[in-house]
Amino acid sequence: MFRLLSQKMRRYRTSSSDNQTQAKQNASPKYLSKNLEGNLQVLREELGQSSDVIIRDMKISSNSDVDGAVIYIDGLVDRNLLNQDILQPLMFNLQVIKDNVNQKQSKLIDFIKSSVLTVGQISGTEDIDTVIAGVLSGHTAILIEGVTQALLIDTKGWETRNVDEPTNEVSIRGPKDSFNETLRTNTALLRRKIRDPRLTFQSLQIGERSKTDVTVAYIKGITPDHLISEINQRLKRIDTDAILDIGYIEQFIEDSPLSLFPTVGVTQRPDVVAAKILEGRAAILVDGSPMALTMPFLFIEGFQNPDDYYARPFFAAAIRWLRLLGFTLSIYLPGIFVSLKAFHPELFPAPLLVSVAAAREGLPFPVALEAILMLSLFEILREAGLRMPRSLGPAVSIVGALVIGQAAVSAGLVGAPMVIVVATTAIASFLVVPYADAGALLRFLMTIVAGFLGLFGMVIFQLEILSHLAALRSLGVPYLSPVTPLKLRGLKDVFIRAPLWAMDRRPEFLDSSDKRRQSPGQMPRAPQTKPGKREG
Amino acid sequence: MKREKRIKIYVVILLIIMPGFLSGCWDSHELNKLSIVSGLGWDIDNTGKVTMTYQSIIPSEIKGSSGSNGGGEQKGGSQLSAIQLNQDTGSSPYDALSRYTQHASRIPYYEHTQIYLFGKEGVQRGIYPFLDTQARNPVSRPKALMVVSAEEKASDILGIQDGMENIQAFGMAAEIKLSATFSKYPEVTVLQFQNRLLSKTTAPIAPMVGIFEETGPEGKKIRRTRVVGTAVFKGDRMIGQLNERESSGLLWAINEIKIGFVMIPEASMEIVSAKSKIVPELQGDQVKITIEIDEESNLVEYRGHQDITADLVHELEKGQAKEIESQVRAAVEKSFALDADVFGFGEAVHRKYKKEWKDLKPRWDDIYSRIEVLVKVKTHLNEIGDVNKALIKD
C-alpha cells in the first residue's frame, strides 16, 4: 500500500517539475551593454528599490572621466575591504598609470583586474543574471562605461556566529568544535581535518529564490563515483523556491520519504563528518545550516558515537550494548508491561505479580489507557520544555515532575509501577538520539497494539518493523547492513568496536574505491629485549 | 482498472483493521478483575461431594502492609489480613470450582497457584478426579507443589497464618522448599507426581503438612504449620506415611540430597555434597539392588573431649556411614511393609534389563517385597580446620 502511495507521489512530482523546467528554458539570458547608465537601469529594475542595495557612481581614477559604478549589498560585504582594496585603488591609485586609461576600455578592465585591485577572488562576466546573483550573495560588482564586462569581487563579510561547542552531540574526549551557519567556515573545518588534495567540495545553488549554496563533500578515490553522481542527480532534481535549512534538502533527497526511520544522517560535528567521508561516504553542507548530512546512512550508525572511537574499545563496546538495550527498552517496555498486565499475568514471577496486583488495585483506567496517558504526558512535558521561553523552565519542571508524577499516583489515577516504566522508557529513548523521534512514535504504536492484542500483537508488529527495516535502502546500500546482508568484516564496528589497529579496511558494504585504510598488523607490542643484553 | 486498484486498497485496509476486533479482547484480563489464587485445597467426604477451598490474595491489603500507610496495625498470631478463604462444594472438582460465579466479584486466577493441598480423609479415597481436572486445564502450572494435609481437612491448614509470610500458601511453599533444600522431606511438583503415577510401578509421594501449637508471649496459643512426614501413594490413593528418619533415607536413596545435616551420637556433620546411585542386578527371579552413596561433609560439632586425629576422623566417617545406612534401611523396610516402590527400583530394573522387564512387570508387586537391598555408603569428612585440639580434655 505504501509503495502504491509513493509511486503516485513520485509520478506527481516528476510531472510538475517538467512544467517548470520548460518555463525556465523560455527565458533567454540578458547581457550587459556598453552603456553604463543603461546597465545600471536594468540592474535597478532587477534588484528593485531595496534600501540595502547600494549603487555608487564614481569616476575611475581621479583625473580621468571614465565613469564607473560599484554595486553591492550593505551588510553582506566587508566595508573595510571595500573601502581600502577596491574604492581607494580605483579612485586614487589609478592616476599613477594614467596612460593606461587612454587605452582601449576593454583592456582597461583586464588591467584593473590584474594590477589595481588587491583582492583575492575576482571574476569577470557579461551576463546580467550572474551579476545579480553575485551581488546578492555578497560580491561587489564593478561596471565601467563602455565595457560589456562586469567585475565580480568576492567581498563577503557579514556577522557570523563563532565556532562553538556542539550543543546536540556532546563528546568527552573528542574535539569541541561544531559547524556554524557559514558554509565557508564549515568547509574550512573539514579541510583542516583532512588535508588531502583529493578532498573535494562540489558546489551548486538550489532554490529559485533563496539561491542557497549547497556543497557536496567527498574524497575522490574513496567515495565511489556512482554515489557522487547519484547525489548530484538527486540534488539537481530539487526545484523549490527556498532552502532554509538542511532539513529541506534531507526531505527532498532521502530514499524512503514515507519511512519512520531516517535514511540520511545528520550531525553538527566536523570530526564525525570527516570520519564518515574517510569511510567512503559523502557529506552535504548547506549555507545557513549548522548541520551536515551524510549519506549513505545505515541503521547501526545511530548507535555509534564519536566517543566510541576516541576512548579505548572495551568500554565503548559495553556502552554500545547499553545503547542497543536502551533503544529496545524505549520501544518495547511500555508495550510489554501492558501486555503482561492485561493479557499474560502468568508471565510475572509470583511475588512480582502480587506487588504489581497490589499497585493495580483500585485504579480506574484499563492499563493500556493508563500507559498511553502517561506516555502522552511525558511527550507534552518534553515538548513544552523544548519550546517554552527559557525563563519559564523551573515552573514547568516543578509542575511536571511533582504535581503530575507524584500527585497522579497518590490520587490513585495511575499506578506507581507505570510511572517507573514510563520514566525508564523516556530516559532510555535518549540513549540513541537519532532514533528518538522514530522511537517515540513506535512506542505509542507498540503500546496500542499491546493493548489490543497483547504479546501476540507485539510480535506481529515487530515482524512488520523488521521487514520494513530490511527493505530500506540508503543510496542503494541496505539499511541493516552489515548485519543483514551479513558482512563479517563489517561486524567489527557493530556490536563491538574493534580496536583501531584491527579495523584496517574501510566498511566493504559502502563499496569504496580504496578498500584499505591502513596497513594491517599494527597491534602495539612491548619491545622485544634479547636475553643477556640488558641496559646498565 | 483504477476502480479495481481502489478496491484492492480498501481490502488491504480492512484486512489490517479487522484482526484488531476479531481476536484478543476476550483474552484480555486486567489484573484488578482477577482474584489471584495462591493455594487450592481439595476435600472429599464419604458421600463423594468435593469441597474446594481457595486461598485468594487481597491485593489492597498487600499494598497497606508494604506501602506508606502500613505499620499502623500490628499483625499478630492468626490474623489473616492479606488472604481470603472461600469454599465451594460440588459433585466433582470442576463443578465445585465453577461455582465461583455465584459469589465472587473477580474471576479466580490459577496461574500462580503455588500449592495443591489434599485433605487426609479425601486422599485415602483417591485424588484421580482432581489430577484429571488439573492436567486438562491449561491455566494451572505443573510446577505447583503437591501437599497432603496431616489434618482431616485441607481447609484446616489453609487458614493458618504462619509467621513472616502474609500470603500463607506462598509461605507454606517456601517452608516445603526449604525442608527439601536441607534434605528433610521431598518437594514434589504436580509434574513429578504425575510422572511417578504414569510409571505404574513407582509409588507417588508427597510431603505432609500438619498443625502444631506453640505457646507464644503472654501464654497465647499460636498455631503454626510444619512439615511432618511423607505421604506414600499407591496409584492415586494414599496408603501410608514415612516419618522424618524414613523420609531422609528415601531422599538419600533417590539422589535428592542437596545439603543438610547428619547427626551421630558423638558429632554433627554438615553435608557438602552427596551422590547416590541405584544399581539393580537380576539373578533369575531374584532382584538385587545396590544403593551406592557417596557423601562428603564438614565437621561442625564434636561432643567428645579428644584431640582430632586421622584415626578419629576415620571413626567419625564410619559412624556417619552407619547412620546414613540405617536411615536408608528404615525407609526400605517401611516401603516393603507398605509394598510401595517409592524408590523407583522397578524403573531402574526396567532401564537395565529391558527384555526381562516385560516378564517382571506384571508380578512386580510380588517381587518387590522380596528384593535384596544392599546399601554401600562412602563418606568423606573434610575441612576440620585448625581446631584440632579439644578445648576441654578428659
CA-nearest residue to A2 within chain B is B9
pLDDT of B248: 93
Helix axes A416-429, A436-471, angle to 10 degrees: 70
Smallest CA-to-CA distance from B47 within B86, B85, B92, B96 is with B92
Helices (H) and strands (E) in chain B, counts: 13, 13
Residue pair B23/A453 in contact (Cβ under 8 Å)? The answer is yes
Q: In the numeric block, which cell numbers belong to residue B380? A: 568423606
Residue range A296-315, pLDDT digits in tens = 999 999 999 999 999 889 99
pLDDT of B214: 81
B32 touches A: beta carbon within 8 Å: yes
A319 touches B: beta carbon within 8 Å: no
pLDDT of A106: 62
3-state secondary structure A401-463: HHHHHHHHHHCCCCCHHHHHHHHHHHHHHCCCHHHHHHHHHHHHHHHHHHHHHHHHHHHHHHH
The conformation of residue A137, written as its DSSP 8-state character, comes to: T
Q: What share of chain B is helix, strand, coil (3-state, %, to 5)?
A: 40, 30, 30
For residue B63, give the nearest of A348, A361, A367 by CB distance. Answer: A361
Q: In the numeric block, which cell numbers belong to residue A461? A: 508488529
- List of chain B residues whose C-beta atoms are within 8 Å of the C-beta of residue A4: 5, 9
Distance separating alpha carbons of residues A170 and A305, to the nearest angstrom: 9
B181 touches A: beta carbon within 8 Å: no
ipTM for the assembly = 0.73
Distance separating alpha carbons of residues A204 and A234, to the nearest angstrom: 12
B174 touches A: beta carbon within 8 Å: no
Q: What are the residue ranges in chain B where pLDDT is below 70?
A: 1, 19-27, 63-80, 162-163, 383-387, 393-394
pLDDT above 80 (res A198)? yes
pLDDT of A447: 94
Distance separating alpha carbons of residues B238 and B148, to the nearest angstrom: 9
Q: In the numeric block, which cell numbers belong to residue A73? A: 549589498
Distance separating alpha carbons of residues B183 and B297, to the nearest angstrom: 14
pLDDT of A25: 47
Q: Do A360 and B29 touch (CB under 8 A)?
A: no
Q: In the numeric block, which cell numbers belong to residue B247? A: 523420609
Domain boundaries, chain B: 32-242, 245-394
Q: In the numeric block, which cell numbers belong to residue A150? A: 562586469
Q: Do B31 and A341 touch (CB under 8 A)?
A: yes
- List of chain B residues whose C-beta atoms are within 8 Å of the C-beta of residue A351: 170
Smallest CA-to-CA distance from A252 within A261, A243, A260 is with A243
B60 vs chain A: nearest CA distance in angstroms? Answer: 5
Length of chain A: 536
Say what the pTM is. 0.78
- Burial of residue A46, with CB atoms counted within 10 A of its CB: 0-12 exposed, 13-18 middle, 19 or more buried: middle
pLDDT of A94: 63
Q: How confident is the model at residue A526 (pLDDT cuts 50, 70, 90)?
A: confident
For residue A362, give the nearest of B28, B60, B62 by CB distance. Answer: B60
Residues 6+ apart with CB under 8 A from A98: A61, A63, A64
Q: In the numeric block, which cell numbers belong to residue A437? A: 523521534
Residue range A41-87, pLDDT digits in tens = 888 888 877 888 888 888 776 666 778 888 999 888 888 888 888 88
Distances (CA, A) of A238 to A206, A226, A249: 7, 19, 8
A342 vs chain B: nearest CA distance in angstroms? Answer: 5
- Burial of residue A14, with CB atoms counted within 10 A of its CB: 0-12 exposed, 13-18 middle, 19 or more buried: exposed
pLDDT of B196: 92
Distance separating alpha carbons of residues B216 and A474, to the nearest angstrom: 76
Residue B296, classed as helix, strand or coil, is: strand
Q: In the numeric block, which cell numbers belong to residue B170? A: 506462598
Q: How confident is the model at residue A23 (pLDDT cuts 50, 70, 90)?
A: very low
A367 touches B: beta carbon within 8 Å: yes
- List of chain B residues whose C-beta atoms are within 8 Å of the C-beta of residue A357: 31-32, 34, 36, 57, 59, 62
For residue A366, give the nearest of B9, B23, B30 by CB distance. Answer: B30
3-state secondary structure A475-504: CCEECCCCCCCCCHHHHHHCCCCCCHHHCC
Please give the span between the terminal C-alpha atoms of chain A, in angstroms, as a whole number. Answer: 80
Helix axes B244-253, B310-338, angle to 10 degrees: 100
Residue with more model confidence, A188 or A160: A188
Mean pLDDT of A436-444: 93
Strand partners, A490: none
pLDDT of A533: 56
3-state secondary structure A304-319: CCHHHHHCCHHHHHHH
Residue range A225-283, pLDDT digits in tens = 999 999 999 999 999 999 999 999 999 999 999 999 999 999 999 999 999 999 999 99
A457 touches B: beta carbon within 8 Å: yes
Mean pLDDT, chain A, whole residue set: 85
A364 touches B: beta carbon within 8 Å: no
Distances (CA, A) of A361 to A155, A369, A413, B37: 73, 16, 11, 16
Distances (CA, A) of A471 to A259, A332, A459, A461, B171: 11, 22, 18, 15, 53
- List of chain B residues whose C-beta atoms are within 8 Å of the C-beta of residue A367: 30-31
Q: In the numeric block, which cell numbers belong to residue B274? A: 552427596
- List of chain A residues whose C-beta atoms are within 8 Å of the C-beta of residue B30: 341-342, 360, 366-367
Distance separating alpha carbons of residues B11 and B216, to the nearest angstrom: 74
CATH topology of domain B245-394: GMP Synthetase; Chain A, domain 3 (3.30.300)
Mean pLDDT of A164-188: 91
Q: Do B24 and A346 touch (CB under 8 A)?
A: no
Mean pLDDT of A279-288: 93
Residue range B159-208, pLDDT digits in tens = 887 667 788 898 899 999 999 999 899 999 999 999 999 988 899 999 99
pLDDT of B64: 46
